[in-house]
Amino acid sequence: MLQKSDSLWETTSVQNLIRYAPSGAYFARFRAGGKIIRQNLETTVFSVAKQRLPEEMRKHRAIQESATAFANGKMTVADAGQAYLCKLEANVSLKPRTKGYYRMLFDFVQRSWPGLNETDVRKISERDCETWLLKYQNRYAPTVVNNSIKVLRDVLQEAVRSGARFNNPASDLSRVRVRGKLKLVITRKMVSTILGDSASGSSLLVAWLSCHLLTGIPWLGSGAETIKAIECQMRQDGWFFDDIVLQLEMAGIERRCACSVKSHPVFEKSGAPIDFARAVWQQWFSDTESSFQRGRDCLALVASQHEPEIREAWFGLTETARAASPETLAARKDLRR
């Protein structure tokens, strides 16, 4: 219980959740292993703190349970893995996506090694690790294998740090050789050579997109999404931009991009063509559940190259739009002319 005289701390309606009044930050306050733990939840928003509280308590209590298990004379790989995952989550230098990748690799290791979780860490030998690697490297790509070796080492190293065993049996596992990747850039010239000079602009675009679909190369360069499917003439499914609809994917997240394809420049000094603007608003307010989803999908206009001054004006407008909130942008009189 918090002392009533301690005016710096405020209780909340949620058990084990308190607020530090001077900063407004929320803290978790709970008992683990006979000790009172007070952990900053790194937020001043009550709803966010409420969501983070159970996970924070789970991590600390899992570490305590692992220490208790070792004190009782046994530490399993599952115990060491739990300690590894807790440290992984607490590592602020790693991005959430990187943490998710390492969690996935640990899951791969567990699935590929039957009975690993229940095994006493003292009973795992170097030969056991070599036998696992021999089978594992035949199932996954070299980069996945090498990163999985690192994860296994880090998990078993937790057993060494806790004193459950003297050495790390995975320390001498050899990394798999990674062959250099073939870099390929698909250009308009390459596609034109295949289709011929008489091919229309839309045909060239579809061919260019199809090359990226077949090769798996991100369509807008490194770090962009890959194309999973290409569909055409999709108005019957509720798409007002129905020339081409792309199904895109990156890091397991999928969305669709509807493209309107024009063979000539469409933007003028006075702004966007009225039919384009009308189609954008029709799509935005469409009620068709099977098509455009706000906040996920995107709309694109593909056209011939514009004059330099029009391109500069358009890019200037988009940069202004990115830097401003929707409310601020709508209030700008110079953008409504």
- pLDDT for 109 equals 94
220 in any annotated domain? yes
Residue identified by tokens 């699935």 is: 111
Question: What are the residues whose beta carbons fall under 8 Å from the beta carbon of 27, sequence distance 6 or more?
Answer: 17, 18, 19, 20, 38, 39, 40, 41
Neighbour tally for 5: CB within 10 Å: 5
- Are residue 137 and residue 217 in the same domain, yes or no? no
Name residue 260's beta-bridge partners. 301
* CA count, 13 A, side-chain hemisphere, 295: 0
- pLDDT for 148 equals 94
Please count the helices (runs of H) and the strands (runs of E) in the chain.
10, 8
112 in any annotated domain? yes
- Are residue 82 and residue 171 in the same domain, yes or no? yes
pLDDT one-digit tens code per residue, 118-131: 999 989 999 999 99
- Are residue 125 and residue 154 in the same domain, yes or no? yes
* CA count, 13 A, side-chain hemisphere, 118: 2
Question: What are the residues whose beta carbons fall under 8 Å from the beta carbon of 186, sequence distance 6 or more?
Answer: 208, 211, 212, 215, 217
Spatial CA neighbour of 224 closest among 209, 240, 242:
209
Q: In what helix (H) or strand (E) does residue 298 lie, and over which residues does it extend? A: strand 298-302
184 in any annotated domain? no
321 in any annotated domain? no
- pLDDT for 152 equals 95
Alpha-carbon distances, residue 89 vs 73, 100, 198 (angstroms) = 27, 9, 56
- pLDDT for 5 equals 46
Expressed as residue numbers, the domain containing 34 is 1-54
320 in any annotated domain? no
- pLDDT for 71 equals 54
pLDDT one-digit tens code per residue, 119-176: 999 899 999 999 999 999 888 888 889 999 999 999 999 888 887 888 999 999 998 8
- pLDDT for 227 equals 87
What the block records as the tokens of 317 is 């407008």
In Å, how far from its chain's centre is CA 188?
31
Q: Whole-angstrom Cα distance, residue 298 to residue 280? A: 10
- pLDDT for 330 equals 58
Phi first, then psi: what are they for 250, rounded to 5°?
-155, 125
Residue identified by tokens 């701390």 is: 9
63 in any annotated domain? no
The tally of domains found in the chain comes to: 3
CATH number, position 97: 1.10.150.130
* pLDDT beneath 70, residues of the chain: 1-6, 33, 62-73, 179-201, 222-223, 233-234, 236, 242, 269-270, 287-290, 306, 322-337
- Are residue 205 and residue 237 in the same domain, yes or no? yes
- Are residue 201 and residue 253 in the same domain, yes or no? yes
201 in any annotated domain? yes
